[in-house]
């Protein structure tokens, strides 16, 4: 009494264990109104919070506040913050230069010593360097 439909194997469960027509494998499914991570993140970043600037109380989005804090850190000389806002600007405006005013930066070849000297302005001196 075996037919061709009775074969059991990988991807072919026994017929009594297969889903019946019209029956779902996930009867409860995804709950209506459930949100993915991108939606939750967008809602949180767009939420407005009160901020006092120059004695004036205003409502500012968390997104704007986070960007403002990164820009302020970069302006104080934090190289990680500068890299972060440069990457953020390039992702927001593909092809945009990190320079203000659309000025094309000079293309020069620097030696490793010149690069290290330029970067040393951004790092904090170590305890040994301050003692000397």
Q: What is the DSSP string of 40-104?
A: HHHHHHH-EEEEEETTEEEEEEHHHHHHHHHHHHHHTT-HHHHHHHHHHHHHHSTT--SSGGGPP
Residue at 13 is within a domain: no
Q: Is residue 82 part of a domain?
A: yes
Number of domains in the chain: 1
- pLDDT tens figures, 24-37: 778 888 888 889 99
Cβ atoms of residues 87 and 94 within 8 Å: no
Report yes or no on 45 lying in a domain. yes
Q: Which domain holds residue 55?
A: 41-91
Tens-digit pLDDT profile for residues 38-97: 999 999 999 999 999 889 999 999 999 999 999 999 999 888 998 888 888 888 876 655
Residue 63 lies in a domain: yes
Helix (H, G, I), strand (E, B) or coil at 14: coil
Q: Is residue 86 part of a domain?
A: yes
């Amino acid at each position: 009494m075996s037919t061709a439909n009775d074969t059991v194997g990988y991807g072919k469960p026994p017929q009594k264990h297969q889903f019946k027509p019209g029956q779902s494998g996930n009867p409860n499914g995804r709950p209506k109104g459930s949100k993915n991570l991108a939606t939750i993140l967008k809602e949180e970043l767009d939420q407005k919070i009160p901020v006092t600037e120059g004695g004036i109380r205003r409502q500012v989005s968390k997104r704007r506040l986070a960007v403002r804090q990164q820009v302020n850190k970069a302006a104080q000389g934090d190289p990680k913050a500068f890299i972060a806002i440069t990457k953020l600007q390039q992702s927001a405006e593909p092809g945009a230069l990190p320079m203000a005013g659309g000025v094309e930066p000079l293309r020069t070849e620097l030696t490793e010593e010149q690069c290290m000297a330029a970067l040393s302005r951004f790092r904090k001196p170590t305890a040994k360097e301050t003692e000397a």
